[in-house]
């Protein structure tokens, strides 16, 4: 009889341990899911920034070219006006 009660107590302890493990696993699983969502959000944000940075660099480059062309055109017009006078 003592053996049966010992086995029953051991089985109850094992069931409790299993429940604790399941709870811990569920908590860690939730943390992983939150981490994955956070990583997905951060990755999407960085991915959206890449074309924006490329467009800003391209527009800055184009604006520098337009500024240089405007300077050359202005010098040309000033020289022509100076020759005409």
* The pLDDT of residue 84: 83
Residues of the chain with pLDDT under 50: none
* The pLDDT of residue 24: 59
* The pLDDT of residue 39: 85
**How many Cα atoms sit within 13 Å of 65 on the Cβ side?**
6
* The pLDDT of residue 37: 83
- For the four alpha carbons of 81, 82, 84 and 85, in that order, the dihedral sign comes to positive
């Amino acid at each position: 009889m003592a053996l049966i009660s010992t086995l029953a107590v051991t089985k109850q302890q094992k069931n409790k341990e299993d429940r604790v493990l399941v709870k811990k696993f569920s908590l860690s699983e939730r943390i992983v899911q939150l981490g994955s969502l956070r990583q997905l959000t951060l990755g999407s944000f960085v991915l959206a920034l890449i074309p924006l940075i490329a467009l800003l660099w391209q527009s800055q480059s184009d604006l520098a070219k337009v500024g240089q062309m405007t300077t050359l055109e202005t010098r040309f017009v000033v020289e022509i006006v100076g020759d005409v006078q």
